[in-house]
Amino acid sequence: MKTRLCLLWASFLLGAPVNKQRHRVLLISFDGFRWDYDRDVDTPNLDKMAEDGVKALYVTPPYITITSPTHFTLLSGRYVENHGVIHNMWFNTTSLEKKSYYQSQFVNEWWDNGTLPIWITAQRQGLKTGSLHFPGTASSYQGETAMVREVEPALYNYKNELEWKNNTDKVMGWFRDQDLDFVSLYFGEPDGTGHRYGPDSPQRREMVKQVDRTVGYIRESAQRHGLDDSLNIIITADHGMTTVYRNGLVEEIILSKIPGFSFSDLSFHLVDFGPSGMLLPKPGKLEKVYNALKGSHPHLHVYKKEELPEHLHFSKNDRILPIILWADLGYVINGYFPVQFNKGEHGFDNQEMDMKPFFRAVGPAFHKNLEVGPFETVNIYPLMCHILGIQPEVNDGHLNATKHMLVTSSRAEGEFTSD
């Protein structure tokens, strides 16, 4: 007892905090949850989360607005050109090989190319981290992985609500039983439903109700596991969704039908994957390919990568191919002939409102009943690092963009200042 009293007295004299409050972070992504999906559906649990915490009007993802690149931005705070996970698909321009989204999760060098995700940074500074199904979980970074991790099996059913509850309880158990400080948790909806049926469909609205029920379950599970006093929950998404125009309503973009363009002039291409594409012309063919495509369709944008608009931050990486294509909202890029049948799609310019995701945050670090203006998702990384009390890696975000969300009081009391 005397020893404990002496330590407490010494801490007081030295000005060190006594019983400093611990802050943990759970980062959750509901893939493809557009910023306005709560406007045509009753979402009592999302509404309660906003009342108890922070809601952003919307957030802006990086370009390219597809799953793996945007999720790695959440984990690293870097634009896609800087972290290098430039597509859902790993590809090799020499062998012409391409791997699917799921297969690409296991290609270490695709993910581990110089940028560290928050799992590794936190662990190197003494914290414990985990990840369940979050893109990038399957790979290692400089030989390290999240301490606790689970990768979904191939052909996983992302819609199963019972699995959502099981995964939620599993993650809360990690926090409680394995004493984790940070966990990332991924749900594959409402993206799949938005693709199949379209963002304005009744099926999408039903899936948003399922998301809302799960948000309520997540908060209830956190309370049941005794985490209310320490756990900060951030819920967001990777991108939005928009309706695809086709079935004779518009003139579709079909590259093979464009006069002067030929696939024989290319060494490699990534098209037929939504509204974006990349081309590698054969030596000496770049100008021919570029000039044939530029201005060929009123809703097709064609750029040499070094001439891309600055706001896209999608040119300064060797993995990005020399010619970039993207379509206006609602259009997709077809190669030889139309092979895409989704009613909803993403991958468009990140300035388009339909590409914006939602954002909610609740927990002891956050103000209550606060609605804030939009910000870029690169800023979520420095926010999480600040809450966890770790030094971030070099990143493209700024704490100034989000610090007004945080409770402001003395650091000696284990809270946060606005510095």
Placement of tokens 């139309």 in the chain? 338
Token pair, residue 115, equals: 């940028």
d(CA 230, CA 211): 24
Q: CA–CA distance from 381 to each of 74, 76, 207, 378, 401 (Å)? A: 6, 6, 28, 6, 11
Q: Among residues 43, 60, 65, 67, which one is catalytic? A: 67
Contact yes or no for 60/359 (Cβ under 8 A)? no
Kindly indicate whether the domain formed by 19-244+351-413 is annotated with CATH number 3.40.50.2020.
Answer: no
* Nearest residue to 168 (alpha-carbon basis) of 233, 217, 112, 116: 217
CA quadruple 246, 252, 253, 254: dihedral sign: positive
d(CA 378, CA 373): 15
DSSP conformation letters of 312-365: G--SSSTTS-SEEEEE-TT--EESSS-----SEE--S-TTSGGG-B-EEEESTT
**pTM higher than 0.85:** yes
Residue 417 a catalytic site member: no
Tens digit of pLDDT per residue, the chain (419 long)? 444 444 444 434 443 343 468 999 999 999 999 999 999 999 999 999 999 999 999 999 999 999 999 999 999 999 999 999 999 999 999 999 999 999 999 999 999 999 999 999 999 999 999 999 999 999 999 999 999 999 999 999 999 999 999 999 999 999 999 999 999 999 999 999 999 999 999 999 999 999 999 999 999 999 999 999 999 999 999 999 999 998 888 999 999 999 999 999 999 999 999 999 999 999 999 999 999 999 999 999 999 999 999 999 999 999 999 999 999 999 999 999 999 999 999 999 999 999 999 999 999 999 999 999 999 999 999 999 999 999 999 999 999 999 999 997 433 334 454 44
The domain made up of 253-341 has a fold known as Gyrase A; domain 2 (3.30.1360)
Question: Which amino acid is present at 222?
Answer: A
d(CA 148, CA 218): 19
- The pLDDT value recorded for residue 270 is 97
Contact yes or no for 65/241 (Cβ under 8 A)? no
- The pLDDT value recorded for residue 20 is 67
Per DSSP, the three-state class of 77 is coil
Stretch (H or E) spanning 166:
helix 161-177
Instruction: For residue 382, say if its preceding peptide bond is cis, omega within 30 degrees of 0.
Output: no
Segments making up each domain of the chain, as ranges? 19-244+351-413, 253-341
